[in-house]
Amino acid sequence: MIVATVASDRKLDDAQLEPVVITTMRRRHLRNVLRIEEKTSTTPWSLGLFLAEVRREEREYLVALSGSQVVGFAGLLYVVGEGHITTVAVDPAMQGGRIGTRLMLVLTRRAIAHGSDSITLEVRASNAPALALYRRFGFAPSGVRKDYYKDPTEDALVLWAHDVDTPAYADRLSVIESQLPTPLVLEDPITPDASSDDTTELDAL
Ligand SMILES: CC(C)(COP(=O)(O)OP(=O)(O)OC[C@H]1O[C@@H](n2cnc3c(N)ncnc32)[C@H](O)[C@@H]1OP(=O)(O)O)[C@@H](O)C(=O)NCCC(=O)NCCS
């Protein structure tokens, strides 16, 4: 899990935002992904790490687009029936506008469709916005990794959402979706192969 900075206390009304579309992260998105990563993480992932991740099997990486602009991203890897969320971040200028909620809705549904019955992640103990987001999605603390994060050093809470493959969890997601002030929009189709259709040269990033 990335090491996140604490979000500002500014909260956006969804009505202020352009329509947001969730789609698979592709190479052409990575320049903007890195820009957000550098603004939201004290130990940002490199281009090479993102590129390796989106190319790997057993991964889901998504972006939220406002027009052609990347405004958020999220990712997950699979380990024997479990989804491990590796990253969630929203452009600081857009935080509080339910983009994180939209990304989590799609990511959790993709994990369930892939066969996951549990999803886990780590989060800084002080990261109130992230904890609020994950709590809504049924994540609860199950342990602490002491001094897991650096710059500044801080414990990680290990959160789990269990039984995500049940009707009750599907209902939870439906309720969250129904509370979005504007519809959840996915690019159609979302392809599982994130890099296959993208001819962007890395040198151009
Ligand atoms: C955590 C993050 C992804 C949430 O995305 P978001 O689009 O801002 O969140 P949403 O608008 O969907 O709101 C989700 C929840 O977070 C809360 N929240 C969002 N921004 C907040 C803020 N600035 N201050 C306090 N709470 C906030 C909302 O109240 C909401 O909780 P609720 O459902 O109980 O009302 C985003 O704040 C972010 O990118 N933070 C920096 C990176 C980070 O910390 N990533 C997580 C690493 S584990």
The answer to the question of residue 137 being in a domain is: yes
Q: What is the pLDDT of residue 18?
A: 73
What pTM, to 2 d.p., does this model score? Answer: 0.88
Alpha carbon of 74 to ligand 1 centroid (Å): 13
pLDDT 10s digits, 32-66: 999 999 999 999 999 999 999 999 999 999 999 99
Domain that holds residue 129: 14-182
In a domain, 7, yes or no: no
pLDDT score, position 199: 41
Task: Judge whether residue 190 has pLDDT over 80.
Answer: no
Residue 160 is inside which H or E element, if any? strand 154-162
Residue 4 lies in a domain: no
pLDDT(17) > 90: no
How far does the centroid of ligand 1 lie from the alpha carbon of residue 132, in Å? 7
Examine the pLDDT at 88 and tell me if it is beyond 70: yes
Q: How many angstroms does the Cα of residue 204 sit away from the middle of ligand 1?
A: 31
Q: Assess if residue 129 is contained within a domain.
A: yes
Question: Please, are residues 190 and 23 in contact by the beta-carbon 8 Å criterion?
Answer: yes
Identify the CATH number of the domain in which residue 21 sits.
3.40.630.30
191 pLDDT more than 80: no
Q: Please report the pLDDT score of residue 198 as a whole number.
A: 54
Confidence of residue 15 (pLDDT cuts 50, 70, 90): very low
In a domain, 196, yes or no: no
In this structure, is residue 112 part of a structural domain? Answer: yes
Residue 20 has pLDDT above 70, yes or no: yes
- Residue of the nearest CA to atom 18 in ligand 1? 129
What percentage of the chain reaches a pLDDT higher than 90? Answer: 80
Residue 200 included in any domain: no
- Is 79 inside any structural domain? yes
Report the mean per-residue pLDDT for the chain.
Answer: 88
| Domains identified in the chain, total number | 1
Higher pLDDT, 17 or 182: 182
pLDDT category of residue 189 using cuts at 50, 70 and 90: low
Q: Which residues line ligand 1 (CB under 6 A)?
A: 1-2, 4, 7-9, 11, 40, 88-90, 95-101, 123, 127-130, 132-133, 136
Q: Which residues contact 132 (CB under 8 A, 6 or more apart)?
A: none
